[in-house]
Amino acid sequence: MQATRPFGCEDHPDIRQNHQQEKGRCHQPYRHGVCQYLNGYNNIEFSDSVKSNLSYKTATDRSYDLQNLISEQLCGSGFNEIMNNSLTRSAYYDELTTYPVSHCVMLMNPLSADLNGMRQTLLFGGLESIEHNVKRKNGNIRFFEFGNCYDYNVEKKREDATLAEFSEDYRLGLWVCGDRVENSWAHADEKATVYELKAYVENILIRLGVNLKKVIFGNLSNDIYSTGVSITTTSGRELGTFGIVSRKICKAMDIDFEVYYAELSWTLLMKETKKNKVTFSEISKFPAVKRDLALLLDKSVQFAEIEKIAEESERKLLKEVSLFDVYEGKNLPAGKKSYAVSFYLQDETKTLNDKQIDAIMQKIRKNLESKLGASLR
């Protein structure tokens, strides 16, 4: 590579001769009677490739983006975001077995008894916010909060790991109470219910890409909820819980009405949806077929069990199972209830015939009878 002669070098009489001898080496223009040379500049080799560090999206970035997405969704549903202190009153956990006080991360020199430990759950911070608002005549509450919860488990202590007994989990909490509709000319007043909260939870799971067919909503019995539901995947991952907060806890917080609460593990949700991919498929040209069954069942049987058995009976053509009626009362044996269930079948490559449909429904019915003791009404 030959360096071009800079303007002005050969025009100066004092350095014209030197420039002829060093031709190709001078690269800087003459300034103030001095010509500067970089010997060998024209011999420097340049690579054809460019090396650089490209930034990429980390798991933290993805989590932050999804938090913003869910926050916008909840705000659009009428929620307000709250932020509470991670320091809390350890007395909240004195009589709890779900979150025992022995699992609190305690401060060595707390400023006060109200801030002497780290929170194990987001619940109590939200209840404090509800109490504050209710006392100021704002009783229709829709709150959500993202925050860390902390746990100390002495059984996990190891000599080779200094902090093995301490753990941290990032969670999302939802609080709903008061009226869903109030003073509306288009709709009668309506109280909030736990089913409204469940709808919010399901919408969050769907928006994050969780497959609801792989999620089990089961009964939960603990001292946090008077009636509770656990959210677990078929692989055993516990994504969270929701339900009606225990009256004892509400009374201790000076709240005299029902509060519906959900707590989801954001850490586990990020792991569950890490490999989620959005795929698109053409809408089937062939119609779905609906078949209904009126089942007589024990009162202890849940719809989730029916749904699970049906999906195990026919994995390919069964697209949906829905419950459209529940009856408990006269003309039924003691300890029994009636479920009216719809089954939707569809083949995306051809139209189903009656023989195929009858065979599938017969298989589903036999499995329900053998596993749940169900009978047709």
Does 49 score more than 80 pLDDT?
Answer: no
Which string of b and e fits 21-40 if b means at least 16 CB within 10 Å?
Answer: eeeebbbeebeeeebeeeee
Does 62 score more than 50 pLDDT?
Answer: yes
Identify the H or E element spanning 191: strand 190-191
**Fold category of 59-272 in CATH:** BirA Bifunctional Protein; domain 2 (3.30.930)
Domain boundaries of the chain, sorted by first residue? 1-49, 59-272, 289-376
Please give the average per-residue pLDDT across 27-43, as a whole number: 55
Residue type at 264 in one-letter notation = L
- Measure Cα distances from 134 to 9, 141, 256, 328 in Å: 85, 9, 10, 37
Give the pLDDT band (50/70/90) at residue 38. Answer: low
Cα(352)–Cα(4) distance, integer angstroms: 80
Residue with the two structure tokens 């008061």: 178
Please give the average per-residue pLDDT across 35-54, as a whole number: 69
Q: Which of 29-33, 63-67, 146-150, 357-361 has the lowest mean pLDDT?
A: 29-33
Helix (H, G, I), strand (E, B) or coil at 232: strand
pLDDT tens digits along 213-262:
888 898 899 999 999 999 999 888 999 999 999 999 999 999 999 999 99
Enter the DSSP assignment of 212.
G
Share of the chain above pLDDT 70, in %: 89
pLDDT tens digits along 168-215:
999 999 999 999 988 889 988 899 999 999 999 999 999 999 988 888
pLDDT at 283: 87
pLDDT tens digits along 261-312:
999 999 999 999 988 887 888 888 999 999 999 999 998 888 888 988 998 9
Q: What is the CATH architecture of 289-376? A: 2-Layer Sandwich (3.30)
Sequence-separated (6 or more) residues with CB below 8 Å from residue 267: 169, 170, 171
Cα(357)–Cα(354) distance, integer angstroms: 5
Give the pLDDT band (50/70/90) at residue 53. Answer: low
Q: What is the pTM of this model?
A: 0.77
Does 5 score more than 80 pLDDT?
Answer: no
> Phi and psi (nearest 5°) for 98?
-65, -45
pLDDT tens digits along 111-135:
888 899 999 999 999 999 999 999 9
- Measure Cα distances from 358 to 266, 289, 361, 373 in Å: 43, 11, 5, 21
Give the pLDDT band (50/70/90) at residue 10. Answer: very low
DSSP structure string for 293-308: EEEEEETT--HHHHHH
Average pLDDT, the chain: 87
Strands 190-191 and 375-376: unpaired
Instruction: Give the 3-state secondary structure of 81-150.
Output: ECCCCCEECHHHHCCCCCCCHHHCCECCCCCCHHHCEECCCCHHHHHHHHHHHHCCCCCCEEEEEEEEEE
User: CA angle, corner 8, sides to 2 and 9, nearest 5?
Assistant: 60
Report the half-sphere exposure of 76 (CA within 13 A, side-chain side): 9
Cα(140)–Cα(133) distance, integer angstroms: 9
Are 262 and 242 a contacting pair, CB within 8 Å?
Answer: yes
Which string of b and e fits 157-195 if b means at least 16 CB within 10 Å?
Answer: eeeeeeeebeeeebbbbbbbbbeeeeeeeeeeeeebebe
Does 149 score more than 90 pLDDT?
Answer: yes
Please give the average per-residue pLDDT across 309-329, as a whole number: 90
